[in-house]
């Protein structure tokens, strides 16, 4: 059964039913946030109502760039640990003058 509701607890994505679900605060959902230069903000957050999944696992984390030449670029991850890695990789690539995905 596919869950439509998730909570982030101790870095883990926990499926819950509608009666158990509540909207977690931004601080509870934030994985990482970085500002590069004057215009680029890179944000990685837990998405409590993910619409995409890979092989039944929700893509419950999103890294997105706001501002700069890659404004609205995004990437989804399944786990907190993967989301942290994506965030750091994106930031490192941008610092080196590369596109977010390094390609």
In-domain check, residue 100: no
Instruction: Classify residue 103: in a domain, yes or no.
Output: no
State the residue range of the domain holding 77.
Answer: 5-95
Distance of CA 32 to the CA centre of its chain: 8
How many domains is the chain built from? 1
Take residue 22 and report the two structure tokens written for it: 């509540």
The answer to whether residue 102 sits within a structural domain is: no
42, 90 Cβ separation under 8 angstroms: yes
Whether 25 is covered by a domain: the verdict is: yes
What pLDDT, on a 0 to 100 scale, did the predictor assign at position 36? 96
Instruction: Note whether residue 44 is domain-resident.
Output: yes
On the question of pLDDT at 3 being above 90, the answer is no
Digit-coded pLDDT (tens) for 21-77: 888 898 999 999 999 998 999 999 999 887 777 777 889 999 999 999 999 999 999
* Residue 38 lies inside a defined structural domain of this protein: yes
């Amino acid at each position: 059964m596919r869950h439509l509701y998730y909570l982030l607890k101790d870095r883990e994505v926990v499926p819950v039913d509608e009666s158990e679900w509540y909207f977690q605060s931004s601080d509870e959902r934030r994985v990482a946030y970085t500002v590069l230069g004057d215009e680029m903000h890179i944000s990685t957050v837990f998405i409590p109502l993910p619409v995409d999944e890979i092989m039944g696992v929700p893509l419950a984390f999103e890294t997105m760039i706001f501002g700069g030449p890659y404004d609205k670029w995004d990437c989804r991850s399944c786990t907190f640990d993967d989301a942290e890695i994506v965030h750091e990789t994106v930031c490192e690539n941008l610092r080196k003058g590369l596109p977010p995905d390094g390609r």
